[in-house]
Amino acid sequence: MKEWWVQVGLLSVPLLAVYLHIPPPKLSPALLSWRSSGGYFTYKDQNIFYRDSTGAVGSSDIVILLHGFPTSSYDWYKIWEGLTQRFHRVIALDFVGFGFSDKPRPHHYSIFEQASIVEGLVRHLGLRHQRINLLSHDYGDTVAQELLHRWKRSTFFCPRLVFEPWTNTVALNAGVFFPGSGQFSGPTRSLRRQSTGTCGRRCGLMTAISLFLFSILQYINQRKKHRDRWVGALMSTSVPLHLIYGPLDPVNPHPEFLQLYKKVLPMSTVSVLDDHISHYPQLEDPTGFLNAYLNFINSF
């Protein structure tokens, strides 16, 4: 009898082929509107979707929004109008592999590439020498950390860097303290449990989906490998940092996470939202989130 993993592999090939040829679901009117209000720029032959709205008159401030895994720029739709009332320009993109941007396969997805795409968008929009604020979430936190590392030695200037909570309900991401730090490594444990369980009827399909996502999910390993680089970027920066935190966060639990955050990054300020707020404060509590963010921005 063949090894079980050989059988799974043989079954996965046709399942993956079927999965990759399933037509995408019909877009909702809201998503169609979101897409129609945006545009594309090209980064190394890849089409990258972005939105760029002109907002407040008399302000020169610009904010770039970096979304999380496995979502898209649409994560910001509930606070978009509120941001345009404060910022001259509000900009968001879909990282390659996400949302309306291209999803090449096979492809080596990396945090470094996503950071380069953000820099490419900044150049495309002619903002290279402008003051830029970053508002990041989840996967986007790590992209922001890489940008912060690069911007220490470049002509880009990021006056304020703000983080949202960096976990999600599907346990496929981590925060600024990555696996290997000894704490808050829930995502790695979750993936291990999935990979060592008994293979049932759904194993073949799950394996097919896992193969499809494998290259994007390498960001988890990248976070561990480059922890010193990315956590070090936060520890050494002179850029104002702020954390907006939902205490119902299931992976970075309250109060342990905040205690570690304040110990490692004592220069950062923190906003703790209501007890029932978890991973997506900009969706769960857009008013509370905007108040926290704008209070920080307006403190300068």
Rounded CA-CA distance 128/126 in Å is 6
User: Which of 74-78, 173-177, 266-270 shows the lowest mean pLDDT across its residues?
Assistant: 173-177
Rounded CA-CA distance 174/180 in Å is 11
DSSP E strands, 69-181: 89-93, 131-136, 157-163
pLDDT one-digit tens code per residue, 86-100: 999 999 999 999 999
Which pTM was predicted? 0.80
Rounded CA-CA distance 97/213 in Å is 10
Bridge partner residues of 161 (DSSP): 134, 241
**3-state SS, residue 186:** helix
Rounded CA-CA distance 72/289 in Å is 18
Cβ proximity of 72 and 98 under 8 Å: yes
Give CA angle at 149 (145, 153), nearest 5°: 150
pLDDT one-digit tens code per residue, 212-237: 577 888 898 999 999 999 999 889 88
Binned at pLDDT 50, 70 and 90, residue 6 comes out as: low
What mean pLDDT comes out for the span 43-70?
92
Structural domains of the chain, ranges and CATH numbers in brackets? 37-193+204-298 (3.40.50.1820)
